[in-house]
Every structure is written in structure tokens, then in C-alpha cells.
Amino acid sequence: MTVRIVSYNLLVPVYADRPKFYFKCQPQFLKTDYRRNLIQAQIEEEITHHENTVICLQELSLSMLPKLELLFRSLNYSLFHNLYGEKWNDYIGIGMAIPVSMQLNSISFIKIGEHIRSISKHHEKRTNLFTWEWNFCQSALSKFIQLASDPWKIAMDRSNTLICLQLVIDGKPLYVGTYHMPCLYEQPDVMAIHSSIVKDLMFQISAGQDFILAGDFNLKPWDTCYQALTKKGYIDSNYPKYNNYEISYRPNTEQVLKSAYREKNGSEPNYTNYSDTTKSRNFCATLDYIFFVGDLTVEKVLKLPDHPTGESYPDETHPSDHLMIAATFRL
């Protein structure tokens, strides 16, 4: 028995429908209706051509949700989602869709920021002459000098949510999770915190059972965070220290993940994201992964192009700036 895992960052319409931002894209290919039709066709093809297909979506949004709900309903699928964003980003979130016939034992929605807060305790301030003088100076200068932020506080304030489903396929339990990592390249400490906690939470939830974790992790294969997720015993001396908080957590370096594409092809894809925007010029790299743990065999992966075409995605045949990725696992 096999299971097919599909992961796709859909690109929120309020981001896409900005020709001045995606300035190298043709405006007609940025329109929501055009992109949604292509996205739905790609999803439907994966579902109809593979058994036990689980769809993991990132950058799901309120404006895209109704039509996707109808699509999955027509395909006898159930969609579980969490929109954790705000009005300005169309309440961005994530979702997972499974066949209604698939046995579902449990659903977990974990806001990583809230989880971090639950394992944190703010340092109690001790008052003495030195600290009083320091606090006074800090208060006086704060109007003119931006003090360094505590990465743990920033990590707590993020609303990104992990969705994890406990499934049973052919009598075998399997946990499947999806996550969209905060896109904070200028604050790698925050990404290191979220990535390690999401990994360790999946181990905790699955309690020794096989699991798959798919999504847009905003990590490149050569990044430190990727190494920490996939290399046993990897210790980064620069892992964020606790400044203003006492954190009852340290990454478990013995619990690591395997990547479906790397296991099957010997390396990660050449790229899964391609765009040229006013904010990120000529970006082309792998950011999306299907990680797994346990007695699972990768039978095949969705073939991806070696090199992008055109000047930027989205384009006529690519409705998002991310590629859809997929892997078939033998249980």
C-alpha cells in the first residue's frame, strides 16, 4: 500500500495580483481566476492519478478557500485548514486535504509561537544600583537607538500553525503534518527556533510512529537550519541563546529527518521557487520539502524541471512562484 504526499505553496492572491511587484510577469497570468484554474487542475491530476493522495497547502487564503472547498468536495475530499494571518494578507494560512474514505484518528493544530510561550518564563529582574542605572539609560536612549530584539520574543509572536493528522492506511498508522516557516531571512535565529521546534513536536506527537512533514520551510539545502534538521548530532554553536526568557527546551540532535527527494534522487531539486520581484531579485532556490521518518520507502517523486523558463513565475503554466512537489511512499 502506498500514500502520495503533495505539497504546494499557492501564493496568496494579494501578493500575486501586484504587477508592479512581480514586474517581470505578464499581468494576465497574475490574475486570481487564471492562477486558481491552473492550481485546481494540478491538484485534481494528482488526486485522480494516485491512490491515497494527501494534499498539503501553504499560503491558503480566505479568497481562495471557497473554490478550493468546492473542488475537494467534488473529489470526495475533506479539507482541514487554519487561516492565521490578518486582513492585509488575506488571512494567510495552511491546509490539508484527505479522501473522506481515509481513516482519520486525530487532528492537531499547534501555533508554534504559543507553544514557545508555554515553555518560556520571563527572567525576573533583579534590582540593584547597576540595573537601575542601566534601565534608566536604556529608557532614555530607546527613543534614539533601536535595541536588538530577542529572537525568542519574535518567535513567540508569530502565528504560524502546524497541522498534523493521524491517519490509518491499510491498517498502518501514519502521521502527516504540514507547516509554512516564517519568511524571516533577515532574522535566521527565529527560523532556527521554529524549524527545530516543529521537528521535535512531530516526533513528540507521533510517539515513535512513522510520520511525514511537508511544506514550505523557507530553507535552502545548504542553510544551517536544514543541516540541523537532517544531520544527526549536528550542533550549531550559534543556536539562539535565551536573553530575556528562560526556555525549557533544547533541540534534540539525535532526532532528524530524511528528505524524500534527496533519498530518491540523491539530492534536493535544483529549485522549487523562482521569482524576480522588487523585494527579491532573480531568486531561484529550493525551499519546499517532504521530510519523513520511519519505515517508509520513497517509490517515486514528482519530476521537477532542472531549470526555470521565462523571467519569473507566475507565468502561463506556473500559477505560483513555487513548484508543486510530491512523493509516493510505500508503507
Torsion angle defined by CA atoms of residues 227, 291, 153 and 222, in that order, rounded to the nearest 10 degrees: 30
Cα–Cα distance, 123 to 283 (Å, whole number): 40
The 3-state DSSP class for residue 146 equals coil
Tell whether the torsion through CA atoms of 89, 90, 96 and 97 is positive or negative: negative
SS3 163: strand
pLDDT at 241: 79
Question: In terms of residue numbers, what domain contains 219?
Answer: 2-330
Buried b (16+ CB within 10 A) or exposed e, 279-307: eeeeeebbbbbbbbbbebebeebbebeee
pLDDT at position 327 over 80: yes
Count: domains in the chain:
1
Which residues have CB under 8 Å from 284's CB, separation 6+?
A: 271, 273, 274, 308
| Residue 51, all three cell numbers | 491512490
Percent of the chain with pLDDT over 90: 82
pLDDT given at position 144: 37
pLDDT band, residue 136 (cuts 50/70/90)? low
Q: Is residue 138 pLDDT above 60, yes or no?
A: no
> DSSP of 200-240, one letter per residue?
HHHHHHHTTS-EEEEEE----TTSHHHHHHHSTT---TTSP
Dist CA 165 CA 81 (whole Å): 11
pLDDT exceeds 90 at position 208:
yes
- What pLDDT, in 10s, does the model give residues 53-74? 999 999 999 999 999 999 999 9
- Provide the pLDDT for residue 95: 98
CATH classification of the domain holding 46: 3.60.10.10
Beta pairing, strands 283-285 & 325-330: unpaired
Tens of pLDDT, residues 171-197: 999 999 999 999 998 899 999 999 999
Say if CB 260 and CB 301 are below 8 A apart.
yes
* Distances from the Cα of 115 to the Cα of 23, 97, 122, 191, angstroms: 39, 24, 15, 15
> How confident is residue 142, by pLDDT bands cut at 50, 70 and 90?
very low
Confidence of residue 118 (pLDDT cuts 50, 70, 90): very high
pLDDT at 247 over 90: no
Residue 150 confidence (pLDDT) above 90: no
Is residue 302 pLDDT above 60, yes or no?
Answer: yes
90-119 average pLDDT score: 97
State the DSSP code for 31.
S
Give me the chain's average pLDDT, please. 91
Q: What is the mean pLDDT of residues 229-248?
A: 82
Among 18, 17, 10, 22, smallest CA distance to 32 is for 17
Tell me if 61 sits within 8 A of 91, measured CB to CB: yes
Q: Please give the average per-residue pLDDT across 289-301, as a whole number.
A: 98
Task: State the CB neighbour count (10 A cutoff) for residue 261.
Answer: 23
Q: Which residue did the predictor score with more confidence, 98 or 17?
A: 98
Confidence at residue 294, expressed as pLDDT on a 0 to 100 scale: 97
Q: Model confidence over 211-223: pLDDT tens digits?
A: 999 999 999 999 9
Sign of the Cα pseudo-torsion (307, 22, 225, 249, in order): negative
pLDDT band (50, 70, 90) for residue 101 = very high
With 50 as the cut, is the pLDDT of residue 145 above it?
Answer: no
